[in-house]
Amino acid sequence: MRNPLTNRLVVILVATISIVVTIFIVARVLFLQAKFDVEIEKSTNRVANRISDAINYSLNKDLNYVFKKELSAELIASILVSELNDPLLNGILIYSRFGDVQFGMVQLSEGEVRKYDPKLHVGILSTSNKKRKISIPNNSIPLSEVEILFNSKYHSQKLLELLYIEITQLIVLALLIMALVYLGIRISLLKPLESLDIASSTFKCIEEGIVYVDLENNIIDVNKAFLSITGYLHEDVVDKDCTFFKFGESIDEHIDQVNASLIDGRAWSGEGNVVNASGQRIPISLTITDVKNEEGALLCRVYIFKDISHLKAEEAQLKNLAYFDPLTQLPNRRYFEEHIESGIRQAGRTQSKFGVLYIDLDKFKFINDCYGHSAGDLLLVEMAKRFRSRLRESDLLCRLGGDEFTIIANNIDSGEELAVLAKDLIKLAKKPFQFDDHTCYVGASIGISVYPQDATEAGELIRNADSAMYTSKHKGRETFAFYSQDIHKRARAQQLLKLKLTHAISNKAFSLAYQPKVALKSGRVIGAEALIRWPTENGKIVAPSEFIPFAEEAGLIQDIGTWVAETACARAKTWLTSFDDQFELSINLSSKQLLKPEIISLLRTLLSSEGLKPNNIDLEITEGSVIKDFERTIDTLNEFKEMGLSISLDDFGTGYSSMSYLTKLPIDTLKIDRSFIHEIGRSAQSETIIATIIAMAKSLSLSTVAEGIETHSQLNFLLNNGCDIGQGYYFSRPLSDSEFDSYLFKMAS
């Protein structure tokens, strides 16, 4: 697209050349007309003289003409014909002294010369625009004038031909000159002007704000983008001191960086702020550069900036998502880990102490499962408010995830301060939590580690506080514990235990013991409970209570549970074949197994491969495993029931023992915990609980199993209250495979 300046230049050149050409053509026409007039005059005189000379010559040669006083027609005709060879002439007429045409010859359009006849050739006189009459200077003959008729058509044609040639040459020459002039102007003047025009348009239209500042720091000019971003008017800023750009608190440091960069001939780029008309600071990306002439002298300074408010807002939003918990608006794990690193550096410089408190809510899972995740979310938000209300401004509260919180308590003098803080936090956690029409109670277990006495690295401080928190849970929950070397030793022992347990799983170094289950009324053995044992290299047997909870926490229980189910089902097949096809084998399932879909496919496969009927397998679950994820557990148990498997609720009475969820469970049997059986004959309250459980089970059409029967009096009490099945040392201790075979044979005989 042509530049408007280029268009104007082309118009000026064309107009100038057109005027010059027009003037030249007019002048040339006048010149040619004058030239033709001169030529006609010359031709007239020349023709007249030649005619006169010819007549005089003829007269002198033939004296008879003189005496006759007239010219013969042949003589005059020959003279005139010789003259009419010139195409410029139309005819020659000779007049007598009396003014009439004595004789004449005309040239027709075809080039034919004829004697003049007034009747035939009157048109020649009218078409001849040029006529000349001359007197013949000879008184010896009766002639006075000769009139020469010029060909006007030939005259005009000749004139036009000359003009056409000259005008064509002139136009070509003018176009050539115009092109040369245009190129010269474009190279020397128009290119710089176009560059200036482009720069001016860019300055006006560019989205970035631009400010030109002179050597005195006064504003020379600003563009529209600057006015749009800042809200100033043009007259408010031009010729004013440029003080709009800010660089945060350390302005001197930034100015030094800018000047150092510009002195080296480089543009400075970075971020800053521009102050708008309302006094607000707008975040910008800014480039500052100096403009110099060819000699290197400074002309002005240019500020080019772009509003990055939206980018800063997006950056803040992303930072908030990356560093803050969206539910409680507390800093998250990432923020906590980075902050504790900086806290260690700060404490190292100031030789100060700080504490890390690791908080885990007690019974949170129960709230989440029984009342839904929305209730759990409300509880977390409430706990965040309670904990924050107790802390100082210098302390940091974070949510790591789930029901875990951490606190960094800065600038502490002693561990007593942390103990007081932990106690207060536990009290706050124990306060009733109300939502909708429900009132719930939870607690908190807290572990504490101190910098620098417990650790000097962030990861170790966190791990130590976490270990101390688990110690507080083992102590009975709703308490706190400081990290100590004993905890460290226990943590190391757990690491060693995990290593050994992993090795045992790989080598299948476990064994199963089977404790008989006896129908109390008939005394008949109806089945057994499979109990895992872990024999070590030194011959010691590790009890399930020592490694099963750890295996659940370490994520190893799935492999152990699979081995137990496969081994027990294979052994049950032998007893079904040899003794009783109604034999029922009880297999314990952990909460982790209940939440894994693989348990369904595993049991289906074992029933099919071992040829077992569903009523030969009884699955034992605990109250705690049900509560951990109530809804998902119910779904799994329903699938077990669809397969025809029997389900027993183990250790009933020691956990929640709520009728509201008991009625929702698709179970067949309640197992009364051994702690109650042990108190028969000692505690009336325990006996009442046992009787109540048995009665409740009967009302729900559930059978009951009493664990840990050791005496005859215990057996009688259970029989009198209608308990169905019993197991314990009164009948038999847990037996190995071969021992159980012998036991069954003995009982059968």
Q: How would residue 260 be classed by pLDDT, with cut points 50, 70 and 90?
A: low
Contacts of 634 (CB under 8 A, 6+ apart): 664, 665, 666
- pLDDT of 19 > 80? The answer is yes
- pLDDT of 473 > 80? The answer is yes
Q: 707: part of which helix (H) or strand (E)?
A: strand 703-707
Tens-digit pLDDT profile for residues 694-704: 998 998 899 99
CA gap 130, 273 in Å, rounded: 92
CA gap 18, 40 in Å, rounded: 32
Degrees to nearest 5, angle at CA 405 with 404 and 411: 150
Supply the pLDDT for residue 389.
94
Q: Which of 33-42, 228-237, 427-436, 709-718 has the lowest mean pLDDT?
A: 33-42
CA gap 370, 630 in Å, rounded: 7
Tens-digit pLDDT profile for residues 377-428: 999 999 999 999 999 999 999 999 889 999 999 999 888 899 999 999 999 9
Supply the pLDDT for residue 108.
67
Supply the pLDDT for residue 472.
87
3-class secondary-structure state, position 511: strand
Percent of the chain at pLDDT above 70? 77
Supply the pLDDT for residue 384.
95
Tens-digit pLDDT profile for residues 120-175: 666 666 555 556 566 655 544 445 566 777 666 666 677 677 777 877 877 787 77
- Name the E strands within 170-267: 209-213, 219-222, 245-246
**pLDDT winner (highest mean) among 275-289, 594-608, 726-740:** 726-740
Tens-digit pLDDT profile for residues 654-690: 655 566 667 788 999 999 988 899 999 998 988 998 9
Supply the pLDDT for residue 31.
78
CA gap 444, 408 in Å, rounded: 17
Q: Which of 108-112, 472-476, 616-620, 651-655 has the lowest mean pLDDT?
A: 108-112
Residue scoring higher pLDDT (98 or 547) = 547
- pLDDT of 200 > 60? The answer is no
User: Per-residue pLDDT averaged across 283-293, rounded?
Assistant: 84
Supply the pLDDT for residue 6.
61
Tens-digit pLDDT profile for residues 485-516: 776 677 677 778 788 888 888 888 899 999 99
Contacts of 693 (CB under 8 A, 6+ apart): 652, 653, 670, 672, 676, 704
Supply the pLDDT for residue 536.
78
Q: How would residue 603 be classed by pLDDT, with cut points 50, 70 and 90?
A: very high
What DSSP assignment string belongs to 361-390?
EETHHHHHHHH-HHHHHHHHHHHHHHHHHH
- pLDDT of 250 > 50? The answer is no
> Virtual CA dihedral for 27, 31, 34, 39, nearest 10 degrees?
-160
Supply the pLDDT for residue 715.
94
Supply the pLDDT for residue 321.
77
- Name the E strands within 214-362: 219-222, 245-246, 268-275, 281-292, 298-307, 353-362
**pLDDT winner (highest mean) among 67-76, 268-277, 424-433:** 424-433
Distances (CA, A) of 323 to 276, 335, 378, 458: 31, 5, 21, 17
Distances (CA, A) of 487 to 423, 449, 469, 483, 622: 20, 11, 10, 6, 29
Of 330, 434, 355, 425, the closest CA to residue 386 belongs to: 425
Cα of 386 vs its chain's centroid, Å: 37
| Rg, the chain, Cα only | 62
- pLDDT of 230 > 50? The answer is yes
- pLDDT of 248 > 80? The answer is no
Residue scoring higher pLDDT (557 or 246) = 557
Supply the pLDDT for residue 93.
74
Supply the pLDDT for residue 278.
83
- pLDDT of 193 > 60? The answer is no
Instruction: Tell me the average pLDDT of the chain.
Output: 80
DSSP letter for 729, please. T
144, with CB counted inside 10 A (0-12, 13-18, 19+), is: middle
- pLDDT of 646 > 90? The answer is yes
Residue scoring higher pLDDT (8 or 73) = 8
DSSP letter for 673, please. P
Supply the pLDDT for residue 259.
67
pTM value > 0.75: no
- pLDDT of 251 > 50? The answer is no
User: Per-residue pLDDT averaged across 544-553, rounded?
Assistant: 81
Supply the pLDDT for residue 240.
84
Residue scoring higher pLDDT (452 or 73) = 452
Q: Where are the alpha helices (DSSP H) in 306-438?
A: 309-323, 333-350, 364-371, 373-390, 415-430
